Structure 1
Amino acid sequence: MRIGLLGTGPWAHQVHAPALAAHPEVDFAGVWGRRADAAKELAEQHGTRPYDDVDALFAEVDAVAVALPPDVQAGLAARAARAGCHLLLDKPVATDVERGRAVVDAVREAGVASVVFFTTRFLADSATWIGEQADVGGWFTGRAQWLGAVFTSDSPFAASPWRREKGALWDVGPHALSVLLPVLGDVRRVTAAAPGPGDTVHVVLGHAGGASSTLTLSLTAPAAAAGTTVELRGEHGVALLPERSEGALTAFGRAVDALREAARTGVPHPCDAAFALRVTEILTEAETLLTSDAH
């Protein structure tokens, strides 16, 4: 599969570009960025070519991987789909429902495959655990804590304008939902949302299967308090999401494989653009509650 990369920021440097360059079944065909000099630099690092014209890249690849701010990603993703490119997107696919739906519509109309890189869903131990808990069922409640220190450390993502604007709800909220939804079922109602310190947000969800869950999300946690916990409690006891044993590079390689399989078979992946749209809808509900409470 010939894959082009859109984006030249820290995530593209750390994960997308090296993973695409190393994948044995991928021809890393080129890089486009909003800054031509950055695209040239990243392309040279990985032995591929920079593109000044994004439509020229679309015309010469089978798929695009996108490492751009969500609302920039959404417009380019729809455009790429209409050009016949399969999509490997990042979360959130968009931060408003209209843009997210436009991506889904473009994917459907063009008949292309889509996979959205919810990192935890592509880690082997986590994916196995999620599948096992979904099969067990009988869950009464869930608790997801995604506490990052992005804004309290020297993280390369701390200067990200969209993260500064949208905060943890939109950056790590998609990760939490990507774990809870396949186990507890779709969200029937966002019942509460309250702010905490910094960009910290607490969200309470009611799920279609009858269970409830809570999310605690932050990018401003003290470094000593940062970490991820997902706990489920139900008829069969307590289950905890296993700690990571792999990195994002390995997980992204699996996402590439998932896209190749979806493109080959025509069978949608569970983490496709439609799933990502549902995540955007839920987070939009939570954001609306937060905004209305603030006034």
Structure 2
Amino acid sequence: MRIGLLGTGPWARMAHAPALVAHPELDFVGVWGRRSEAAKELADEHGTRAYDDVDALLADVDAVAVALPPAVQAGLAARAARAGCHLLLDKPLATTVEQGRAVVEAVRETGVASVVFFTSRFLTETEAWIAEQAGVEGWFTGRAEWLGSVFTEESPFADSPWRQEKGALWDVGPHALSVLLPVLGEVREVAAAAHGPGDTVHLVLRHTGGASSTLTLSLTAPPAAAGAGVELRGTGGVALLPESSEGVVPAVLRAADGLLAAARTGRPHPCDATFGLRVTEILVEAETLLNSGTPTSTA
């Protein structure tokens, strides 16, 4: 599969580009970025071509991997789908329901495959744990904590404008939801939402199967407090999301495997654009509640 990369930022450099070069079934054709000099630098580093015209890249490939801010990603993803390109997208799919729906509609109209990269869903240990817990009945409640210290000198994402604007809800909230939804089921209601220190937010969700869950999300936690974890409690006891030492590049490789399989078989991947849209819908509901203080239903 011939694939191009849209984006030249830290995530493109540390995750996507190394994986696209390493995958044995991908031909890394080229890079497009909003800054042409950055695209040339990244392309030269990986022995591929820099494109000044995004449509020229779309015409030369079968698929694209997107490593761009979500508001930029959404429009380009729909454009790429309509050019016949399969989509390896990043989370969140979009930051408005309208943008997300436009991507899903383009995917449905053209029949291209799509995979949204939620890291925990593509790490071997955590993916296996999620699948195992999804088959267990009787979950009563779940608790997810995703706490980062992003805006520090050591972080490659410290200067990310979209993270500074949208905060933890939109950056790490998708990770938490990607683990909870396949286990506890669809979200019936964002029952409560509250601000914490910095950009920290606390959410309470009700799931259609009867379980509830709580999420604590932050990009501004003290470095010593940073970390992520999920705890499930139910009739069978307690289950904790295992830590993984795989790293992000192997996870992107597995996401690419998922895209290849979906393109070949025509069977949607569990983390396709439709799932990405559902995550966006829940985050919009939570954001609305945080801004208004009035509970809202996602049903």
TM-score by length of 2: 0.97
Question: Which 4+ residue blocks in structure 1 deviate beyond 6 angstroms?
Answer: none
Counterpart secondary structure, 1:150: coil
1:19 aligns with 2:19: yes
Give 1:207's aligned residue.
Answer: 207
Is contact 1:152-1:221 (8 Å) kept?
no
5 Å-filtered alignment, 1:43-82, equals: 43-82=43-82
> Matches of 2:240 and 2:28 in 1, distance apart?
37
Give 1:37's aligned residue.
Answer: 37
Question: How big is the shift at 1:136?
Answer: 1.0
Question: How big is the shift at 1:153?
Answer: 4.8
Provide Cα deviations, 1:160-195, integer angstroms capped at 9, x if missing partner. 000000000000000000000000000000000000
> Matches of 2:246 and 2:218 in 1, distance apart?
22
Give 2:113's aligned residue.
Answer: 113
Question: How big is the shift at 1:24?
Answer: 1.0
Give 2:297's aligned residue.
Answer: none
Question: How big is the shift at 1:156?
Answer: 1.1
5 Å-filtered alignment, 1:143-222, equals: 143-222=143-222
Counterpart secondary structure, 1:151: coil
5 Å-filtered alignment, 1:86-125, equals: 86-125=86-125
> Matches of 1:123 and 1:41 in 2, distance apart?
29
Give 2:245's aligned residue.
Answer: 245
- Structure 2 unpaired stretches of 5+: 295-299
Say how many residue pairs are matched. 294
Give 1:233's aligned residue.
Answer: 233
- Structure 1 unpaired stretches of 5+: none
Question: How big is the shift at 1:293?
Answer: 3.0
Question: How big is the shift at 1:151?
Answer: 1.8
Q: Percent identity?
A: 79
> Matches of 2:90 and 2:256 in 1, distance apart?
12
Is contact 1:153-1:223 (8 Å) kept?
no
Question: How big is the shift at 1:255?
Answer: 0.2
Question: How big is the shift at 1:158?
Answer: 1.1
> Matches of 2:200 and 2:98 in 1, distance apart?
25
Root-mean-square deviation (CA, aligned residues, Å) is 0.8
Is contact 1:140-1:233 (8 Å) kept?
yes
> Matches of 2:2 and 2:197 in 1, distance apart?
44
> Matches of 1:123 and 1:275 in 2, distance apart?
18
Counterpart secondary structure, 2:135: helix
> Matches of 1:254 and 1:185 in 2, distance apart?
24
Counterpart secondary structure, 2:42: helix
Counterpart secondary structure, 2:217: strand
Provide Cα deviations, 1:95-141, integer angstroms capped at 9, x if missing partner. 11000000000000010000000000000000000000010121000
> Matches of 1:132 and 1:166 in 2, distance apart?
33
Give 1:283's aligned residue.
Answer: 283
